[in-house]
A = this chain, B = another copy of it.
Amino acid sequence: MSKKIDVAAVAPNIGTLYPPPFDEPCLSRERRKLGDAAGLTQFGANLLRLPPGAWSSQRHWQTESDEFVYVLSGEVTLVTDAGEEILRPGDCAGFKAGDPDGHCLQNRTDRDATVLEVGTRIATDGAHYSDIDMVSPPGGKPVPYTRRDGTPYPNLGRRSRPA
């Protein structure tokens, strides 16, 4: 049995669970869960493809999980409290759990960008969104997303618009 992951055989998750209108910049985002394909459970290791215009996420920070991104191809704009930085192949960044400096990657170019993204899997993890009235409560329960005051957003499931 091959130990090499058959990347082409890993079906991508396209789009996002974000409620509208926050789903808009992530509708064409593609994520292949490579670590899962190898049976890993302690962290996610995903191949992220961002078509032109797509964002990795809304700007956010995780409460309990460390995150790391490494650009493989194309060019993305990293947005944080520090401002905007261009990341090209070989560039990388890490986001410590609990650091309230939200981040996201935006593809503002006219060609695809690919990024390897890693994040620890912690059951009680949640997320705060820096620029919008949205929170992901611990463990994504009782619903994946609420307003900051705890009011649930409707859970419409995955929404996508392939590039």
| Structural contact, B40 and A66, CB atoms closer than 8 A | yes
**Inter-chain contacts of A68 with B (CB < 8 A):** 34-35, 38, 40, 43, 45, 118
Q: In A1-24, which residues have CB < 8 Å from any B CB? A: 1-5, 7
Distance (whole angstroms) from the CB of A78 to the closest CB of chain B: 6
| Structural contact, A42 and B94, CB atoms closer than 8 A | no
Interface locus among A49-57, A95-103, A145-153, A154-162: A95-103
Question: What bracket does the count of chain A residues touching chain B fall in?
Answer: 35 or more
Q: In A44-80, which residues have CB < 8 Å from any B CB? A: 45, 65-66, 68, 70, 72, 78, 80
In whole angstroms, what is the CA distance A27 to B57 when docked? Answer: 41
| Structural contact, A40 and B70, CB atoms closer than 8 A | no
| Structural contact, B39 and A94, CB atoms closer than 8 A | yes
Distance (whole angstroms) from the CB of A105 to the closest CB of chain B: 11
List residues of A whose CB falls within 8 A of some B CB. Answer: 1-5, 7, 34-35, 37-43, 45, 65-66, 68, 70, 72, 78, 80, 82, 85, 87, 90-97, 101, 103, 116, 118, 120
Can you list 26 residue pairs at the A/B interface with Cβ under 8 Å?
A: A2-B85, A3-B80, A3-B85, A3-B103, A4-B78, A4-B85, A4-B92, A4-B93, A5-B93, A5-B94, A7-B91, A34-B70, A34-B94, A35-B68, A35-B94, A40-B68, A41-B96, A42-B43, A42-B65, A42-B97, A42-B120, A43-B43, A43-B68, A45-B94, A116-B116, A118-B118
